[in-house]
Amino acid sequence: MRAFIAIPCPDELKEGMVEIQENIKDLGKLTLVKPENIHLTMKFLGEVDEDKISDITKRLEFLSDLQGFDISLKGVGTFPNMNYIRVIWVGMGEGADRITTIHSEIDRKLNELNFKKDKNFHPHLTIARVKFLKKKEELRDILQKNSARDFGSFKADRIELMQSRLSPRGSQYSVIHETRFK
């Protein structure tokens, strides 16, 4: 099964992200992330044997000892850069350092199960993937205008191990395991 670890984003904070998606959707061939699928990926696992799931969840037990924390969603950016845009994302303000620390610990613990460590983790929520652009300058203008936008804040209270099923209608996510913070 295809799996990843994520912190869910509350629906009430997705309104501004959907607004940006509406503004950019006709600027090229973009795949917009469905609002219900917008999340903060802590680690993408890829294809995982089902018999490995219990080992993964055991490695994630340390998360239940962590305190919940505040995350603020700020700004819009791109990967790999503004000249070659493949992913459009919403970034983090408050909580980014905490997310990075938790990610490093998840990375370390799952490396024990032979999952590769992430080289360049950057906390974000993907809102679109870009195949090609027809109006690159217009997209850059929209992104620049939203580069410091405040999308709101929420309290991270859990991390979820998710299954991703690919279909012609797009990815469908389901929770395999949930770990709540204190």
Summarize pLDDT for 2-61 with one digit per residue, the tens: 999 999 999 999 999 999 999 999 999 999 999 999 999 999 999 999 999 999 999 999
How far from 61 is each of 65, 76, 97, 106, 148, CA to CA, in Å? 8, 32, 21, 10, 35
Q: Provide the pLDDT for residue 134.
A: 95
Q: Which of 144, 145, 181, 146 is nearest to 160 (CA)?
A: 181
3-class DSSP state of 116: coil
Q: Give the model confidence (pLDDT) of 145-157 as tens digits.
A: 999 999 999 999 9
Cβ(136)–Cβ(143) below 8 Å = no
The H-or-E segment that residue 168 falls in is none
| 122 given a catalytic annotation | no
Domains assigned to the chain: 2-180 (3.90.1140.10)
**Residue entry with tokens 């203008």:** 141
| 103 given a catalytic annotation | no
Quick one: 90 exposed, middle or buried, by C-beta within 10 A (0-12, 13-18, 19+)?
A: buried
- The rounded distance, in Å, linking the Cα atoms of 14 and 7 is 14
Q: Provide the pLDDT for residue 170.
A: 81
Query: Which entry of 103, 122, 124, 177 is annotated as an active-site residue?
Result: 124
**168 has pLDDT over 90:** no
How far the first Cα of the chain sits from its last, in Å, is 29
Query: Which entry of 39, 103, 122, 177 is annotated as an active-site residue?
Result: 39
